Amino acid sequence: MRKLAILTVALAALAVPSLSHAQVSLGLRLGFAPVGGDAMKDLKMSDGIKSQIPIQLDAIYNLNKNVGLGGYFSYGLGQTASDACGTGVSCSASVMRLGVQGTYTLDPMGQATPWAGVGIGYEWAKVSGGGETLTLKGFEFLNLQVGADFAVAPQLAVGPYLGMSVGQYSDAEISGTSASIPDKSTHEWFQVGVRGKFDL
C-alpha cells in the first residue's frame, strides 16, 4: 500500500510538474490601435471610430514557466471621424473588450524574453454625440499578440507588444432601442504599445 501511494505521488508530480511553479502575473498595457474593416456591410469602422488608445489589464495564471491562462479587460478612448455625428456636432467614443487568453513564454534570448498569446472575447463600441449614443456589440473571435519582456526588477518586466484582433458586431443599440445587425461584417484592431508585467 505504501509503495502504491509513493508511486501515485510520483506519477502526479510527473503529470503536473507545473504546480510547484504556479504563480499569478498581472499586466498593464498602454497602446495605440488604428482600426480596419467594417462595422457592418457598406459601413467602414473608420467612418465612426478611426482609432483608440487602449488601456488593458491582464491576469494570467502560469501553469508552468512557459504556458499561462487568464483573462483580459480593455478600455479604449476612441478617436472619431470628423463628421461621425453630423456636421458641426462633436463626438466621443469608447471601446471595451473583455475575454480570455492563453500565453506562451519562450526561453530568454539575451535580455529579452519573447512571448506570444491568443484569445477570444466580446467587444462593445460606443459613439456619442448630439444627445444620442450608438452602441455596437459582438464577439471578438480572434486576438493574436506577440511581445518581449525586459526585466527591470526581480518580479517586474516591461516591454513592447504588437496585437491584432478580429471581431464582428451582431447587435446595435441607439436611444434604448436594440436590433440585430442583418448584414454583418468584420473589423480589425491593430495594436502597438507597451506592457508592464508583475509576477506575484
Task: Please report where in the chains the cell 496585437 appears, as a residue.
Answer: 163
CATH class, range 22-199: mainly beta
Confidence grade of residue 90 (pLDDT, cut at 50, 70, 90): confident
CA distances from 53 to 19, 31, 87, 116, 149 (A): 37, 6, 24, 21, 21
The whole-number pLDDT of residue 115 equals 98
pLDDT at 106 over 50: yes
User: What value does the mean pLDDT of the chain take?
Assistant: 90
pLDDT at 137 over 50: yes
